[in-house]
């Protein structure tokens, strides 16, 4: 019996020892630090969530924008629809939006209702009589050296106009030479083009290659101080520039060869000029001629979409009018139409007037500061890079 009890005690001790060992092992296991997830996995999860949020936001934004434009295009307002299509067709990168909502035939029908009649009339220089030095001695109210800046407010735009009494002050500033016609060459801001010759003021000039916003190569024609710096006329090109007699000429050159353009420049004694498109083929809606020899161009509807604009005109006494408007959402404004430009130029007495390159390129620099900047957010305090600009010589400022 005693022996049995001793065996039992021994067994009990062994059992206790085993239980104690098991409990100790369990405590060690419980107190062992848990393995942390790898930092890489956590970073990937965060990146994935961020990307998912971005994609979701982009999708919602796109859907909202698409439905907004769909409402405009297929809503009850025919005027809003026509204005949208005409405006989009004038942009450099967003033309494709029109084809999202309308067929080619529908687009052509809209531009027919909201366009400009073709005109082959060119400027008659005999209608401009520029006073000679001393002719204004009997009229002290006219300062031949004067230059005035005026503000103009329209229904869908805000604008500023420079009025230059002496047209001989208006020149062209360029970044020539064009670096062997490298389309990737950078242009210069309007401020830089004005400061190149220590000029008093300036507005953006003619058409140029805008892909990538390099702004270093013009299109069509560039004449500076009587020298042809660029000569590659394209269909629809219209020359806008001044003769040696300081008369603003607005002439079709799109049907000419480079040799014919060269002869035209020589025959008409062109000293400073650029070019812009005047074409409406259903895919592009660009216009140049506004008023020729006192007669405004025939238009239907508003003549064009609403966009930022740059225009130049001349009165019968030679006074030059330089106009720049805002648009594309700047200060809540859509921009100016062709009819707006014509109305303004008529109000200020223009005998001849032309539309220049506009949109995001539109800008005005005067007296050491920007009066009108690009509507593009990135260049909202400056201008796009440009190859050319109409500038005004300093004279007593």
What is the per-residue DSSP string for 334-360?
Answer: --B-HHHHHHHHHHTTEEEEEE-S-GG
Supply φ then ψ for residue 286, to 5 degrees: -120, 140
- For 285, phi then psi, to 5°, come to -135, 85
pLDDT at residue 378 tops 50: yes
| Phi, psi angle pair for 70, to nearest 5° | -65, -40
How do 369-372 and 364-366 pair as beta strands?
antiparallel
- Average pLDDT over all residues of the chain: 84
Sign of CA dihedral 195, 199, 203, 204: negative
- pTM more than 0.85: no
Per DSSP, 215 falls in state B
The residues near 192 (Cβ < 8 Å, ≥ 6 apart) are none
Instruction: Read off the pLDDT of residues 136-165 as tens digits, 9 standing for 90 and up.
Output: 555 666 788 899 999 999 999 999 999 999
Peptide bond into 114 cis (omega under 30): no
In this predicted model, what pLDDT tens digit does every residue of 168-200 receive, in sequence order?
Answer: 999 999 999 986 656 568 899 999 999 999 899
């Amino acid at each position: 019996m005693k022996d049995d009890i001793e065996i039992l005690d021994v067994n009990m001790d062994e059992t206790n020892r085993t239980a104690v060992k098991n409990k100790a092992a369990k405590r060690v296991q419980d107190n062992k630090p848990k393995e942390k997830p790898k930092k890489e996995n956590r970073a990937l999860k965060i990146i994935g969530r961020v990307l998912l949020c971005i994609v979701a936001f982009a999708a919602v934004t796109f859907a909202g924008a698409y439905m907004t434009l769909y409402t405009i295009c297929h809503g009850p307002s025919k005027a809003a629809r026509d204005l949208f299509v005409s405006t989009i067709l004038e942009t450099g990168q967003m033309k494709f939006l029109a084809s999202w909502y309308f067929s080619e035939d529908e687009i052509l029908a809209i531009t027919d209702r909201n366009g400009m009649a073709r005109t082959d009339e060119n400027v008659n220089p005999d209608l401009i009589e520029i006073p000679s030095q001393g002719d204004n001695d009997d009229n002290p109210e006219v300062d031949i050296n004067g230059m005035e800046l005026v503000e103009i407010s329209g229904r869908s735009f805000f604008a500023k106009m420079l009025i230059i009494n002496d047209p001989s002050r208006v020149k062209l500033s360029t970044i020539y030479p064009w670096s062997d016609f490298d389309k990737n060459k950078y242009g210069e801001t309007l401020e830089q083009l004005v400061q190149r010759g220590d000029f008093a003021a300036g507005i953006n000039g003619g058409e140029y290659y805008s892909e990538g916003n390099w702004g270093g190569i013009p299109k069509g024609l560039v004449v500076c101080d009587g020298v042809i710096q660029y000569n590659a006329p394209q269909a629809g090109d219209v020359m806008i520039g001044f003769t040696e007699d300081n008369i603003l000429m607005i002439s079709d050159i799109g049907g000419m060869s480079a040799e014919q353009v060269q002869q035209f420049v020589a025959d008409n004694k062109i000293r400073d000029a650029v070019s812009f498109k005047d074409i409406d083929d259903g895919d592009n809606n660009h216009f140049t001629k506004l008023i020729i020899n006192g007669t405004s161009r025939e238009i239907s509807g508003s003549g064009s979409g609403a966009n930022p604009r740059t225009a130049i005109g001349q009165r019968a006494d030679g006074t030059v009018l330089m106009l720049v408007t805002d648009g594309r959402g700047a200060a809540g404004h859509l921009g100016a139409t062709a009819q707006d430009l014509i109305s303004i130029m008529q109000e200020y007495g223009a005998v001849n007037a032309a539309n220049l390159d506009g949109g995001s390129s539109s800008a005005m620099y005067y007296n050491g500061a920007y009066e009108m900047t690009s509507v593009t957010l990135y260049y909202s305090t400056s201008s796009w890079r440009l190859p050319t600009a109409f500038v005004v010589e300093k004279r007593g400022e």
